[in-house]
Amino acid sequence: MKKYLLLLLFLLCLISPVNASAEHFYLNESNNGDELFVQEGQSLELALDSNSSTGYSWIYQAEPDTNIMEMTGHGYQDKQAIEAPTIVGAGGKEHWFYKASRPGTTTISLCYARPWESKMPEKTFTVKVNVLPQVKVLFDQKVLEFDVPPIIENGYALVPLRAIFEAAGAKVDWLPETQTVVATKDNTIVKFTVGNDIAYINGTDVKLEAPSQIIGNRTMVPLQFIGEALGYKVEWDNNNNTINICL
């Protein structure tokens, strides 16, 4: 089980070099040649410099497999209208929008050329996209829904604390002045400050695998800390791509 969990964390960790939020990835020309790992259901935006006034445009050399990456939109954003209204022919960007539809591997390959010319393109762009299965989190066999999904930070899975603690029946208090979380369940009191890698369980300090942090107004903590704080087991189900948290 442990080796499968480590493999999952390794694959998800490869997402981090790309400019991304929890649900959305943004790519530009600096990502040319990259290999990208996304999760099923996440979205991707690609923006490339373009100038329609020259006759050049980006043309597919290899379209992505629509069963894996569905294109949901495409358009041209004129830089002249936004940043340089007095400069004619200032160029802009072409944008493509995709959604990761199902697990698999596909390639987005484009060239910048005039469609009527047969010479070599001015430039090319290629990115390989690997779509990973969506990971579920079960707490006592119940699927947990997160407005901010689990992420990977420096090889460790970070999960929203409040959703899991409250599912366990804990009371969670947020002290904004010190950015401190205090969670109470039965005779257990958990306390830590966001950004710190030390937490306290009934006054005893516990070293976290990674510092807690705030993402999307949610406090994220290392997955394994959930088990330590609440006395639960954390298991990875490789067959169903599921994290099980149970007594």
In angstroms, the Cα distances linking 136 to 77, 111, 218 are 37, 38, 18
pLDDT of residue 6: 44
Residue type, 1: M
Q: Which CATH architecture has domain 136-246?
A: 2-Layer Sandwich (3.30)
pLDDT of residue 84: 52
pLDDT of residue 237: 77
| pLDDT above 70: percentage of residues in the chain | 83
pLDDT of residue 136: 79
Fill in the DSSP letter of residue 140.
Answer: T
Structure tokens at 27: 């790519």
Q: Tell me the pTM.
A: 0.57
SS3 (DSSP) at 245: strand
Contacts of 189 (CB under 8 A, 6+ apart): 182, 183, 200, 201, 202, 203
Measure the CA–CA gap between 164 and 32, rounded to whole angstroms. 39
CATH of domain 24-80+89-132: 2.60.40.2020
pLDDT of residue 178: 94
Measure the CA–CA gap between 119 and 150, rounded to whole angstroms. 47
Domain-by-domain residue ranges, the chain? 24-80+89-132, 136-246
Task: Give per-10-residue mean pLDDT for the chain (247 aa).
Answer: 45 43 78 85 92 90 94 83 55 92 93 91 93 80 78 72 90 94 93 94 92 85 85 80 82
pLDDT of residue 13: 40
pLDDT of residue 154: 63
